A = this chain, B = another copy of it.
Amino acid sequence: MTASSLTPIAPETVDYVHGIARRARVAARELALLTRARKDAALLALADAVDAASDVVISANREDLQRGRDNGLTTNLLDRLALDEERVHAVADALRQVATLPDPVGEVVRGSTLANGLAIRQIRVPMGVVGMIYEARPNVTVDAAGLGLKSGNAVLLRGGSAAASTNAALVDVLRTALEQQGLNPDAINLLVEGGHDAARALMTARGLVDLLIPRGGASLIQTVVLESTVPVIETGVGNCHVYVDASADTDMAVQIVTNSKTHRPSVCNAAESLLVHRDAAERIMPALMASLGGAGVTVHGDALSEGYAAAAGAAHLPITPQDDDTEFLSLDISARVVDSLDEAIAHIQEHTSGHTEAIVTADRAAARRFTTEIDAAAVLINASTRFTDGGEFGFGAEIGISTQKLHARGPMALPELTTTKWIVDGDGQVR
């Protein structure tokens, strides 16, 4: 429990957040009844509105960028924040893409006719009001609004202060477009006042908010998980391992490890830890370390791994116990040589964040044991960790990657934004 959770939230901030949440609930009831045709038409109209407002959005974005530079944001963060005409168009296109996806609402999940003649069926229905607390990238604002609309949910968004002007401009455009479609603008809401207290009021708005999804760094996610009394889906921290088995093909191991680490180091499905079976080390490590070194990776290795890294000319450091649990999100990887599959499995079981774990192997039995015994959202055989992704899995969209076990695990898309309802159809049955 953090100190902040013990300080009362300013009453006017509670009123502000609860007021928005109550209006969102009214909108959610209307959204739940919309046909797919109505929702898709609205999504296309929203996309057109974003395109048409490109200048306004870019101008608001310039304010954020200026403030960011004044506040000393890193170049990397500024780049994530920045919108130009092309990026605004991509944001609008994402809405058009959501319009093409099947509507999860109304899907019959299962059903049967009971012995007494009652026909029961479980169907997907919207959650209601979905809250989201997230950091810099403004495209998340529009993605969340679009996925929320398609799944029949009202959204209550709390973006990072770095993107405040951009988010406000975008939500303004979206709400106006909803009204022009004859829909309730309270389907899309942005919390702009109240600072951290507004986020806390959102986290504790039980009965008003049906689901809260944090997206951002580990500290943001932990705060939301620990301080929330509304249901939360934990997302995104990935200490992903690649285990190179004794039987692994050399080229395949080199390609998968290098791709897992270097394809996009700043994301949660990038590899952070390498384990190599002792029997494969002599054969695979030289090429593997040369490949990682060539891509600019620093190897945090045990004595053997560091030796191979040094010999191959890769940057290297001695591994620390902390490294085994570190999500570097950079061109760094921890590396250990292990004596057996058992040791690899035990190490991963101890250090996994439950996101993605991969094995490179030619051995059926090893693959079967690894996929059975490793407990994570995704377990991969002979494939890059970078594939754990809603887009790659063919979901067409992604609202986050759940690392918890309740409700959703792994990439989350439209169905994960729904709950279910049993409909029981009788003709007078009693017990």
Contacts and interface: CB of A to CB of B under 8 A. Distances in A.
A388 B422 contact: yes
Interface in A323-342: none
Interface stretch (A38-46, A292-300, A367-375): A367-375
Q: Which of A5, A372, A375, A424 has the most CB of B within 10 A?
A: A424
Contacts of A388: 422, 424
B422 A210 contact: no
Interface stretch (A54-62, A91-99, A170-178, A223-231): A223-231
Given A6-B6, A225-B229, A424-B387, A406 B211 contact: yes
Interface in A4-22: 5-6
A375 B424 contact: no
Interface stretch (A74-82, A112-120, A189-197): A112-120
A421 B407 contact: no
B118 A422 contact: no
Contacts of A404: 231
A382 B381 CA distance: 51
A125 B375 contact: yes
A133 to B, nearest CB: 17
Nearest to A112: B394
Nearest to A255: B430
A381 B424 contact: yes
A379 B431 contact: no
Nearest to A5: B1
Contacts of A210: 405
Contact of A382 (B349, B373, B429): B429
A70 interface: no
A379 B263 contact: no
A425 interface: yes
A423 B383 contact: no
A274 interface: no
Contacts of A112: 394
A431 B378 contact: no
Contacts of A128: 375, 405
A384 interface: yes
B375 A32 contact: yes
A124 to B, nearest CB: 11
A419 interface: yes
Nearest to A260: B430
A27 interface: no
Contacts of A225: 229
Interface in A208-256: 210-211, 225-226, 229, 231, 233, 249, 251-252, 255-256
B430 A120 contact: no
A428 B375 contact: no
A233 B406 CA distance: 9
A428 B360 CA distance: 8
A112 B393 CA distance: 9
B425 A386 contact: no
A315 interface: no
A381 B425 contact: yes
A254 to B, nearest CB: 10
Contact of A377 (B1, B372, B421): B421
Nearest to A120: B393
A422 B211 contact: no
Nearest to A125: B375
Q: Choose among A6, A112, A122, A392 the residue with the greatest number of B CB atoms under 10 Å from its CB.
A: A392
A427 B375 CA distance: 22
A301 to B, nearest CB: 23
Contacts of A118: 383, 387
A414 interface: no
25 contacts: A29-B349, A29-B373, A112-B394, A114-B393, A114-B394, A210-B405, A211-B405, A231-B404, A251-B428, A252-B427, A256-B428, A258-B430, A263-B431, A375-B421, A377-B421, A378-B424, A380-B426, A381-B423, A381-B425, A382-B428, A382-B429, A383-B426, A384-B430, A387-B431, A407-B407
